[in-house]
């Protein structure tokens, strides 16, 4: 029988997602969306439409309020999930578990952003959504109506963090914070890039050893950002010739997290070194997890290296 437009494949990114010729997308990973919880390990979470005109929502997390923290303002973490700009969700079980644990350990308020995904919403939509979400957080924590942020959040201690594609988003949002005002007198304090998805036209390090993996990363970028100038676009390769100087990062502190077996490690290390020598006035630190692969801490949160990473996060956020 002849295939129809509904089952003919246009773009095959298995095991991550499939795009069919009629335009619909079948996402295959991290599709287990879970509801927020009123009290899980002492952490409450809820979902909000933060930018209804754009269809952008977020999951907010509030740690247990007791005699130790009820009367003081808490640091705020704005988190951008990974997924190659094309899959995963702030509402999937993987990120619900991770953010709940991080909020409990670090005693912070978290806002996990559900930015719009490619290919339905190609980049730069995800970048713009992520910036607008940070502006919303700044407004709410400074003088807004969302009580978890306005009553309990410290607008002087806002940090952005993200893994993989989310780590890339963190860099680009921090660069934008160096060019534009967040509003309400709020300044971005810190940025945490976890195994950030950077790329480039010329292979480096382990990219030379694993050309098939490099080719997949190339496809992800070109597919999610159809108007890009290429693999040396500063959005995906902030170290490219002619890219804006990293000295323009609009925050005071940065942490770069790498994993020894992750092919993205080499570009992450170059990013750290370039930032350190750029003339940027902030402080940058690096954490490399030996023997680990890409976003290991999400899939194996009880391992020793995940515990070390968690404690570094707690220290950084506080």
Which two three-digit tokens encode residue 183? 């509003």
Please state the rounded mean pLDDT for residues 141-163.
92
Check residue 1 and give its pLDDT. Answer: 36
Which two three-digit tokens encode residue 100? 């709940």
Tokens 């990120």 correspond to 95
CB burial of 49-75 (b: ≥16 within 10 Å; e: otherwise) equals ebbeebebbbbbbbbeeeeeeeeeebb
Specify the pTM. 0.95
The answer to whether residues 249 and 279 touch, using CB atoms and an 8 Å cutoff, is no
Q: Rounded mean pLDDT of the chain?
A: 94
The answer to whether residues 222 and 257 touch, using CB atoms and an 8 Å cutoff, is no
Residue 18 CB-density burial (10 A; 0-12 exposed, 13-18 middle, 19+ buried): middle
Residue 3 in this model has a pLDDT that exceeds 50: no
Of the pLDDT bands very low, low, confident and very high (cuts 50, 70, 90), residue 229 is very high
CB burial of 116-145 (b: ≥16 within 10 Å; e: otherwise) equals bbbbebbbebbbbbbbbbbbbbbbbbbebe
Residue 162 in this model has a pLDDT that exceeds 80: yes
Please state the rounded mean pLDDT for residues 268-278.
98
Q: What is the pLDDT of residues 242-251, one digit of tens each?
A: 999 999 999 9
Catalytically annotated residues: 164, 262, 294
Please state the rounded mean pLDDT for residues 261-287.
98
Check residue 5 and give its pLDDT. Answer: 52
Q: When comparing pLDDT for 141 and 115, which is higher?
A: 115
Check residue 144 and give its pLDDT. Answer: 81
Here the contacts of 203-211 (C-beta below 8 Å, separation 24 or greater) are 204/266, 204/267, 204/270, 205/263, 205/265, 205/266, 205/267, 206/263, 206/265, 206/266, 207/263, 207/266, 210/263
The answer to whether residues 194 and 254 touch, using CB atoms and an 8 Å cutoff, is no
Distance CA(218)–CA(241), nearest Å, equals 18
Please state the rounded mean pLDDT for residues 286-313.
98
DSSP string, 14-46: TTTEEEETTS-EEE-SS--B----S-BTTBEEE
Distance CA(175)–CA(123), nearest Å, equals 16
Residue 85 in this model has a pLDDT that exceeds 90: yes
The answer to whether residues 203 and 211 touch, using CB atoms and an 8 Å cutoff, is yes
Q: Work out the percent of the chain whose per-residue pLDDT is above 70.
A: 97
Check residue 51 and give its pLDDT. Answer: 94
Q: What is the pLDDT of residues 167-225, one digit of tens each?
A: 999 999 999 999 999 999 999 999 999 999 999 999 999 999 999 999 999 999 999 99
Residue 70 in this model has a pLDDT that exceeds 80: no
Of the pLDDT bands very low, low, confident and very high (cuts 50, 70, 90), residue 6 is low
Of the pLDDT bands very low, low, confident and very high (cuts 50, 70, 90), residue 137 is very high
Check residue 201 and give its pLDDT. Answer: 98
Residue 205 CB-density burial (10 A; 0-12 exposed, 13-18 middle, 19+ buried): middle
């Amino acid at each position: 029988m002849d295939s129809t437009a509904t089952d003919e494949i246009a773009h095959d990114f298995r095991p991550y997602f499939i795009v069919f010729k009629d335009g619909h997308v079948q996402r295959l990973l991290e599709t287990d969306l879970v509801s927020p919880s009123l009290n899980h390990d002492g952490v409450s979470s809820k979902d909000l439409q933060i930018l209804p005109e754009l269809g952008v929502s977020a999951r907010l997390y509030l740690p247990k309020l007791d005699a130790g923290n009820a009367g003081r303002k808490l640091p705020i973490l704005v988190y951008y999930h990974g997924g190659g700009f094309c899959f995963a969700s702030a509402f999937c079980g993987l990120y619900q578990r991770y953010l709940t644990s991080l909020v409990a350990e670090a005693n912070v308020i978290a806002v996990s952003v559900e930015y719009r995904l490619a290919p339905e919403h190609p980049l730069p939509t995800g970048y713009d959504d992520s910036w607008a979400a940070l502006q919303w957080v700044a407004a709410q924590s400074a003088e807004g109506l969302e009580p978890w942020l306005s009553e309990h959040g410290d607008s002087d201690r806002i940090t952005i963090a993200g893994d993989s594609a989310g780590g890339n988003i963190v860099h680009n949002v921090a660069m934008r914070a160096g060019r534009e005002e967040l509003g309400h007198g709020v300044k971005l304090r810190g940025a945490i890039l976890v195994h950030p998805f950077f790329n480039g036209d010329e292979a480096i390090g382990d990219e030379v050893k694993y050309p098939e993996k490099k080719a997949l990363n190339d496809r992800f970028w070109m597919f999610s950002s159809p108007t890009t100038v290429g693999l040396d676009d500063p959005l995906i390769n902030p170290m490219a010739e002619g890219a804006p100087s990293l000295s323009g990062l609009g925050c005071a502190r940065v942490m770069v997290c790498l994993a020894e077996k992750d092919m993205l490690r080499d570009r992450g290390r170059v990013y750290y070194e370039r930032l350190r020598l750029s003339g940027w006035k902030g402080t940058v630190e690096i954490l490399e997890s030996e023997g680990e692969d890409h976003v290991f801490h999400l899939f194996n949160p009880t391992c020793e290296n995940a515990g070390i990473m968690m404690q570094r996060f707690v220290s950084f956020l506080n």
